[in-house]
Amino acid sequence: MKKFVFTIGLVTLVTLSMAQRKELSNAYNHYSNKYWSRAKTAIDKAAEHEDTKNDARTWFYRGNIYLQIGYAKQENPNSEYKNLCDNCGEIAYDSYVKALQIDKTIEASTMMPNNPIKGIDFCTDLLYNETLAELNKNNFERALVLAEKCYNSNPHSESGNFIYAVAAEYANKKDIAKARYSAMINRKKPTLMFEPYIQLALIYKEEKDTARALKAIKARPAEDTTFNIKYVINKSVILTWAGETEEATAIMDEALAKDPNNHLLLFGLGTAFSDQKKYEEAEKYLNKALEIKPNDVNIVYNLGNSYYNHYAEKFNKMDEIKDNDEYEKEKQECQVLLRKALPLLEKAHEMDPEDRNTLIMLKIVYPRIDTTTDEEKEAFSTKLKAVDEKLK
């Protein structure tokens, strides 16, 4: 009787094992027939079972199945597969890696891709898009994990290098960002993308490494004459910061000669100079931009903000002035700047009544203006109360 029971138990175990092997076979068959949902269900079961989870085929098939689901979703985000996985590219990549860890020679001539190495290469685009999705959600650490896999899936890919650098910068891993941007710039055929030159230079500027910042921003191939506003602005900013004002001015003049009424160029240059506390240059460019686009709220606000910051810089240095006449002259100039800032900030508020930055600026400016009449004093008081109410 004991022998009979043992035999029954053995048959049961063999049957269960065969059932799991059948899931692996089912996954392959469903894959071949493009039944991605069924293939996913079968391969996920095989990946968890003791008898198949250490089989390289399980992970290779899993990589191929998730890869196909990922591309199906990318082609049609509203397809029937949209809820099968959020990170199909990452799952495919991890599955291929595990397949190779178990058996480096695994392949299947009837599948496409026919081996995990090729499969990993196909993951790059999916991982790139998954990284972007996390960056857009401000999940920077998660984005960096995905970006590293994107890069590792194809280290020669320009997009893989770039997204890894961007994610690293957002995650404050500046050494990784510098390495990836540098690789794109210093390869035999340098990238023609503008961002790597700009971002690498800005990182070095932040680190106060003048020589490397200049080298990065000037590294772009001279034979490429493509006009890019962002690059022109940032190159001018870096050159000015590094003391190479003459070259910076020449670049700006050349850009404006090509497109003198480009409000984006004028706005960008004005804002950049304001950030560098070069307020007179900033106000010149921002005023020109405002002439062209008088109802652009960003231009209106930034010009008002520049006038206020110009005022603040002068005001904070007034205690250093010993001569009474000079002190009074500087005080009057401060008031002129405040009165230039105020109507612009009020206009920005009218255009975007809920913007808190504008409200905060108005709360600061109203009390600082020396009112000339009781009517003006009362009007400012009423406006200030309205601002305070909105900021509650």
Whole-angstrom Cα distance, residue 85 to residue 62? 13
CA distance 285 to 277: 14
In-domain check, residue 25: yes
The reply to whether 101 falls in a domain is: yes
**Residue 135 tokens, joined:** 């960056």
Q: Report residue 257 as tokens.
A: 């000669």
227 assigned to some structural domain: no
Structural domain count, the chain: 1
Domain span including residue 105: 17-122
Q: Is residue 113 situated within a structural domain?
A: yes
Q: Is residue 98 part of a domain?
A: yes
Say if 71 falls within a structural domain: yes
Hey, what are 137's tokens?
């959600």
Give the domain CATH number at 29: 1.25.40
Going residue by residue through the chain (392 aa), what tens digit of pLDDT does each one get? 333 333 333 333 334 445 556 888 888 999 999 998 999 999 999 999 888 999 999 999 999 999 999 999 988 888 788 888 989 999 999 999 999 999 999 999 999 999 999 999 999 999 999 999 999 999 999 999 999 999 999 999 999 999 999 999 999 999 999 999 999 999 999 999 999 999 999 999 999 999 999 999 999 887 777 788 889 989 988 998 898 888 888 888 888 888 888 998 899 888 888 888 889 989 999 999 999 999 999 999 999 999 999 999 999 999 899 999 999 999 999 999 999 999 999 999 999 999 999 999 999 999 999 988 999 899 999 999 999 988 88
In a domain, 114, yes or no: yes
- What the block records as the tokens of 60 is 């290779």
Task: Tally Cβ neighbours within 10 Å of residue 221.
Answer: 12
Give the type of residue at 279.
Y
Alpha-carbon dihedral 156, 162, 163, 165, rounded to 10 degrees:
110
Would 64 be classed as within a structural domain? Answer: yes
| Cα angle value 19/24/29 (rounded, 5°) | 115
